[in-house]
A and B are shown apart, each in its own frame.
Chain A
Amino acid sequence: MWTEVFPAFFLDPRSSLLNPMISLSHVFKRYPGGRQALNDIGFTIETGELAFITGHSGAGKSTLLKLLVGIERPTSGSIIVNGQNVGTLQARAVPFLRRKFGLIFQDHKLLFDRSAFGNVALPLEISGYGAKDGARRVRAALDKVGLLKYEKAMPITLSGGEQQRLCIARAIVHRPAILLADEPTGNLDADYATEIGELFRSFNQVGVTVIVATHDQALLTQLKPRVIALRNGALAEAA
């Protein structure tokens, strides 16, 4: 009955209005030959949420993020991202899953034989963007993180904080729905870390789902996010 009344997008299984952006249930992960890295993890993250995954070193934060983007596969359990079961995704579908995310790494993972511009342009090249429209987007992303003036600089000439911001520009240039950051402030001085925190806040304010794995207390007090705490691979408190 009400199918005739409600607009179609309410019924679309991929619609974020009815389904959470990310949903995990009974997720276990054991590395081959290793011990249990994740133990019966279940939580959901709604579209537009700002969530932190916290815990001591070795708690399983990185493993959790890796499961979300298909770098690692869960031993069991289901991981639904935007309506797609990531755990059973075919290998050739994984690249397209990853394009929904913007990834920010502690060690930046920049390419040192390319300029700042070239690094930020990478995700657009990969998804086959036109050069002209692409350049506009790259400059917008660089401007957003305050690096437009270093457009032609090589990453090696930038400071640690600037490199991290460059990594963030690369993560947002293709306007992903979800931003994932693994210890984004791990190597940074407090001032730089605060800048990064503000960037996350601003992305979140325009509707991007932001998930940060960190044990940086200062960042926590700065952003006051929802916290998903891990301890030895298990949830430490209700999410």
Chain B
Amino acid sequence: MKTWLAQHGRCFGTTFVKLARTPLGSVFNIIVIGIALSLPVGLYVVIDNLQAASGQLSAEPQISAYMALDASRAETAQIENRLKQSPRVQRFRLVPRDQALQELKQSSGLADVIDSLPQNPLPDAFVISAKNNTPQALEALRDEIAQWPRVVHAQLDAAWARRLDATLRFGRLVVLILGGLLALALVAVTFNTIRLQVLTQRDEVEVIKLIGATDAFIRRPFLYYGALQGAAGGIVAWLIVSGGIWVVNHNLGELSHVYASLFQLKQLTPGDAGALLLLPLALGWFGAWLSVGRHLSLIEP
């Protein structure tokens, strides 16, 4: 066990030195891997933040309930009473039909048309916020209100949120596909790097095979190289994305003096950073493993 550790430690050390000693080639590889990885990660960050923002915005979805056109004051007051007593209603606002007509007149510029109408075409309406904002609870409340006497129509104003949600879900699918493709690319890049390494170290491989090295021993430095290269690419991707977030937030900060909004992108969590280190490491190792398995068998002394 001790010699095993020592052997691995030594091999890891020489691999690290090798990686450090061939600066240009390995640096380019690492940068390419880093940029490739930063694409899906950056997109993921944007989507994740939009998700959080949409969560805040749609935290107060509203139910609009419309009375019948010929509903009387008393009937509207009855509904008002019910809403006051309902334990599921956070708060509500009555929009009387006269007020609604006035607002429509002012905002639409159709004053003449509206004035010429024989009667007010708009009903009394309630704008209701629920205590529980889960989609199920909202829908249940809407259905209940729609059953109340003289309520003709109740609707959930969450369509836009659902649309955003669908868009974000599509975005996440894009991230997944992009991530998968780039993971494949990372494996391919590592495969090729290791292929070149095995070929340039052909003599060395042949000699140590001749003097009794096991395949595991021969494979080890190549696997370490692939894993280290992948991990370094992950670190570069982390730097790119973190830097990008910092720049965006810096500029948003200046904007937020002008506007009241304090919209800020969240930085990558330590968990994200860990995944960004370990996943490329594993992929690099895998690419190297594929490559070494394939190319070492071609070298027989």
Contact = CB atoms under 8 A, between A and B. Distances in A.
Interface of A: 69, 71, 92, 95-99, 101, 103, 109-111, 113, 122-123, 125-131, 170
Given A71-B301, A111-B203, A128 B7 contact: yes
Given A125-B7, A130-B6, A131-B6, A103 B214 contact: no
A111 B208 CA distance: 9
Interface residues on B, range: 20 to 34
A34 B203 CA distance: 25
Given A98-B211, A111-B204, A128-B4, 17 more contacts: A71-B210, A95-B214, A95-B215, A97-B212, A99-B211, A99-B212, A101-B212, A109-B210, A111-B203, A125-B10, A126-B214, A127-B212, A128-B3, A128-B7, A129-B3, A130-B6, A131-B6
A96 B215 CA distance: 11
A140 B103 CA distance: 101
15 contacts: A69-B210, A92-B214, A92-B215, A95-B209, A97-B212, A99-B211, A111-B204, A122-B207, A126-B208, A126-B213, A126-B214, A126-B217, A127-B212, A128-B7, A130-B3
Interface in B185-225: 203-204, 206-215, 217
Contacts of A125: 7, 10
Interface in B1-46: 3-4, 6-7, 10
Contacts of A71: 210, 300-301
B211 A170 contact: yes
A197 B7 CA distance: 35
A85 B211 CA distance: 19
A101 B212 CA distance: 9
Contacts of B6: 128, 130-131
B202 to A, nearest CB: 12
Contacts of A126: 208, 211-214, 217
B217 A109 contact: no
Contacts of A97: 212
B193 to A, nearest CB: 18
Nearest to B207: A109
Interface string B281-301: 000000000000000000011
Contacts of A128: 3-4, 6-7
A176 to B, nearest CB: 10
Contacts of B7: 125, 128
B301 to A, nearest CB: 6
A128 B209 CA distance: 15
Interface in B227-279: none
B199 to A, nearest CB: 15
B3 A96 contact: no
Most chain A CB atoms below 10 A, which of B10, B207, B212, B214: B212
A123 B4 contact: no
Contacts of A69: 210
B294 to A, nearest CB: 16
